[in-house]
Every structure is written in C-alpha cells, then in structure tokens.
Amino acid sequence: MGRVIVVAGAAVVGVLLSFARGGDPVGEPHAAAQTSAFSAVERYRETAERIVKSTLEGNTSWRKLEELCDDIGHRLSGSTNLAKAVEWAVETMKRDGHENVRAERVMVPRWVRGRESATMTVPREETLHILGLGGSVGTPAEGITAPGLSVRDEAELEVLGERARGKIVLFDNSMPQYTVEHGTHYGTTVRFRGRGAVLAAKQGAVACLVRSVTARSLRSPHTGAMRYSNDVAKIPAAAVSTEDAAMISRLQARGIPVVVNLKMEAQTLEDAPSANVVGELRGRERPEEIVVISGHLDSWDVGQGAHDDAGGCVQAMEAISVLRRLNLVPRRTIRVVLWTNEENGLAGAKQYIKDHADELPNHVAAIESDGGSFRPDGYSLECHDKQKEAAALEQMRQIVKLLAPLGEMKAELGGSGADIGAMKPAGVVLMGHSVESAIYFDYHHSFADTLDKVDPTELSQNVAVMATVAYVLADMPERVGERTSP
C-alpha cells in the first residue's frame, strides 16, 4: 500500500506541475497519471450524463424535503420531531428499495428551550428579539435583571475587567457584510456564540447576550451551540438580533444606561435515545468497501432546518435512489448516513466510529453535505494522510469535470463536515459537498430556515452532483487517493 501511495504522490506532483505550466505532460510518470485520470473521466462520461439527465428530468427529492420540513418540522436532539424524522427516514429508504436500512441507536443530549424573553426595561421598555443558545442554563423564574454592557470582543471585555461584574454582557461583534466572493466570515464571528458565556462569567457577568451571527437580519435572532467551562460560573446565554445589539450599543455610546431583564426556562434533561439512519446501495464487487454520503437529520428547534440540514439528508437519500432507478450498481457500497445530533454534541458521529471501528479502514471516502441546498459548486477535500489527500484532490479535479453540464465545479482542499470529521484519524478521504453559500447564514439556525428558501431545481442539481460523484468514487477501480501504478 505504502509503495503505491508513493508512486501516486509522485504522479500527482507531475500532474500539478503540468497543469501549472499549462503545457502537455512530458516524461513517463506525468503521462501515466494524465492517462489514468483522463481515462477515468472518459470511462464515466456517459454514465454521468445519464445520472444528471435522469435526475433533472424527475426525482422525488422535493417531495422528501416537503415531508421532512412541512410534515415533521424542526428536529432538535431528543425531540419528538427528531424521533419522527428517524422513523420517516427509515421508512422512506425502505420504500425506495435500499439495502440494510436501519436506525443505529445513539444517546443524545436533550436541551430544551422552554419559554424565553428579554426586555430592555431602561431607558424604555422594548422587547428584544432573542433565541437562547443551545446548552445554556436558564434563569430564575423572575429572570435576571441587570445593567447591560456592550463590548466588541474579548480584548474590550478584558480592558473593562471589573466593570463587567454584575452586568449582562453583550458581545456586539458584527459579521462583516459578505459578498459572494468573500464568503461569510462565519468562523471569525461565531466564537462569541460558542464561548461568550465563559468569557463574560470570568469577569463576573450574570448573563451573556451575543449578537446573532449573520450579516443580514430582519430582527431575526440566530441560535447555535454554546459551551461552558468547569472553572467558571454557568451563566445564561442568548443570541439577540443584530438590530437589538446595535441599539444597545448605540445607547451606551451616548452614555444612556441600559437595563435588561432576561428570562429563560432553558434546561438540559437526561440524555435521550436517538439514531443515525443508515441505508445502502450495496456494491456489486467489493461491497465491503464503503463510500459514505451524508447529511444530519437533527436541526435547531426553530424554523424547519430546511437548508440546515434537511436538504443534505435528502440529497444523500435521493442520490442512491436515482442510481438504483437507473440500475447503476457500483463496484463498492454507497452508504447513506443521516447523522443525529450534529448541532449540539456530535453524538451520532462519535457513536458511528465506535460501532463501525472494524469497517473504518474500508471507508474509502465520506461526503457530508451541510452547507445548504443552493447551487452546487463542487467539493472541498481533506485527508489525514497528506499524500493520499493530494492524490484524491487530483482525482476529484478530474471527476468534477463530469459535472460540467451543471456549471463549473471546484475541487479544492478544505474542511469537509462536522460529522465525518470523526473519521479523519482513520485516514478516510473526507469531502464537503459545496454550494454557493453566500446567503446561507441569513437563514442558518433561525426561524427563517424554511422550505421556501430552497429552490427545487438547485436541490435536484445537488442530488445529481452527489449521485455522480458517489457513483464514480464507488465504482472506479482504484480507491480514491490511491492509484494503480502506471
């Protein structure tokens, strides 16, 4: 195996160089690699065209998404809705004729929101639009009433130090306005949601508010997960709309004291049973080798979790249904996994690598779609084994060319998915199914993540992309990231 990888690595470097030069490959290894890559593309061109054409002509992805979003609704870990979604997914995959359909039990955290409200009481009464953060503790029944203190970030809080004691600290850190080109800067802003309560509690704050992580708002709060640290007090934490955060900061800037009352019934109950849902298109030749395609079935407890991540689940489910309807049974097994508890614990992902430890070496690749169901634009890819990663990248750059009828698709190095990340140490090639996500964070974790935000045609395009890529990865003679020697 090691020798093969070394050969592949060398070949890849050659291909990359030839691409960089823009000229034809010269010399033995280059030519061999090119031939191998291009022949793969040639070999699957007709099949890919069939998959794409058939998917776009008609599929049941929209119906599936309607059932999941409209008939079931949002699906927080431990909720009745998530249990219904597990049942629905099992039934639906069985009805579609898939193999080894099953719910694999997972115990998940059970955080419940209860009623919640926030009111600015000074200088005047104004309802603040909030969503408690997942994992937060609640407040006493009468709420917590304290002066508000708005800070931009950790540094400003640090400077204020003791002045934060007894206050409700607001992290008013705005997400930069995005453009399609510049992405959403989610990563740089979300840190206050995750650890704001810890930072504030360290300074003696009694509660924590966080400006919603979004660049665009219509007074729409965005929830998400938060964490506590054992060495500081656990204080309640909620997201406020960008509008409310801005108002508090403006009042403070004019020297006008602000007092806020925060009421939250939030609590964490005993862990609850849930499940990852699994179904397969069993491979014809090497069924023990597995390509995972996946999304997460759970969502936050607001909106319908349509883009996050009903769409990802439906893409994976429908992908193997399309292949099955076309009688396209690949060499290896394509396994759909619908993860539970992505949003607040990753219990599904952790359980999967325990239950499937023996199988992990035979996990050829794992794909997760968790960026919404907007127009697909390719794949990001990562692998613990850097040589394998480079080889897989080069193969993916060829494979995505099969999707040219659906527009330009990228294959690049980058993060893959929160759930499949658990397989990284096992050396599995991990891929994030990527979409044009410029407006994703307008909806993400909010009441507005609803079915109407998904375009049925774009959903079908995602199905076509995922079906094609999964088929090729499962069918090509070599495992992705490895090559047959020239």
Selected range binding its own copies among 196-204, 217-225, 323-331, 424-432, rule: CB under 8 A: 217-225
* Distance of alpha carbon 21 from alpha carbon 87, whole angstroms: 54
- Three-state DSSP class for 17? helix
Query: What DSSP string runs through 141-174?
Result: TT-EEEEEEEESSHHHHHHHGGGGTTSEEEE--P
Q: Which helix (H) or strand (E) holds 13?
A: helix 2-21
Nearer to its own copies, 256 or 413 (CB): 256
Residue found under tokens 């040639």:
42
Selected range binding its own copies among 87-95, 118-126, 160-168, 228-236, rule: CB under 8 A: 118-126
Nearer to its own copies, 288 or 452 (CB): 452
180 binds its own copies (CB under 8 A): no
218 binds its own copies (CB under 8 A): yes
* Distance of alpha carbon 190 from alpha carbon 194, whole angstroms: 7
CB of 304 to its own copies, least distance (A): 8
What is the x/- site pattern for its own copies, positions 233-262, by CB under 8 A?
---------xx--xx--xx--x-x------
Nearer to its own copies, 23 or 255 (CB): 255
**Nearest alpha-carbon partner for 163 in 227, 245, 252, 89:** 252
Nearer to its own copies, 80 or 484 (CB): 80
Helix residue spans in 362-443 (DSSP H): 386-399, 440-443
Q: Which helix (H) or strand (E) holds 92?
A: helix 80-95
Q: Which helix (H) or strand (E) holds 289?
A: strand 286-296
- Three-state DSSP class for 467? helix
* Distance of alpha carbon 319 from alpha carbon 301, whole angstroms: 27
CB of 27 to its own copies, least distance (A): 54
292 binds its own copies (CB under 8 A): no
| DSSP letter, residue 479 | P
* Residue numbers 54-113 binding its own copies by CB under 8 A: 66, 70-73
Q: Which helix (H) or strand (E) holds 336?
A: strand 332-339
Nearer to its own copies, 72 or 213 (CB): 72
Catalytic residue of the set 289, 342, 343, 389: 342
452 binds its own copies (CB under 8 A): yes
170 binds its own copies (CB under 8 A): no
219 binds its own copies (CB under 8 A): yes
220 binds its own copies (CB under 8 A): yes
CB of 452 to its own copies, least distance (A): 5
328 binds its own copies (CB under 8 A): no
Nearer to its own copies, 241 or 398 (CB): 241
Beta strands in 40-199 (DSSP E): 99-112, 116-122, 126-128, 130-132, 144-151, 168-171
Residue found under tokens 């990001």:
380
Taking a C-beta distance cutoff of 8 angstroms, is the pair 461, 378 a contact? no
Q: What is the CA radius of gyration of the chain?
A: 24
Q: Is 270 a catalytic residue?
A: no
* Residue numbers 129-148 binding its own copies by CB under 8 A: 129
CB of 122 to its own copies, least distance (A): 12
217 binds its own copies (CB under 8 A): yes
What is the token pair recorded at 124? 């005047």
CB of 482 to its own copies, least distance (A): 46
Nearer to its own copies, 181 or 452 (CB): 452
CB of 177 to its own copies, least distance (A): 12
> How far, in Å, are 312, 336, 352, 382, 384 from residue 425 at the CA level?
24, 21, 14, 11, 6
Nearer to its own copies, 18 or 437 (CB): 437
Question: How many of the other CB atoms lie within 10 Å of CB of 201?
Answer: 22
442 binds its own copies (CB under 8 A): yes
Among 55, 344, 450, 461, binds its own copies (CB under 8 A): 450
CB of 243 to its own copies, least distance (A): 4
* Distance of alpha carbon 339 from alpha carbon 349, whole angstroms: 7
Residues in contact with its own copies by CB under 8 A are: 66, 70-73, 123-124, 126, 129, 216-220, 242-243, 246-247, 250-251, 254, 256, 303, 442-443, 446-448, 450-452
Catalytic residue IDs? 342
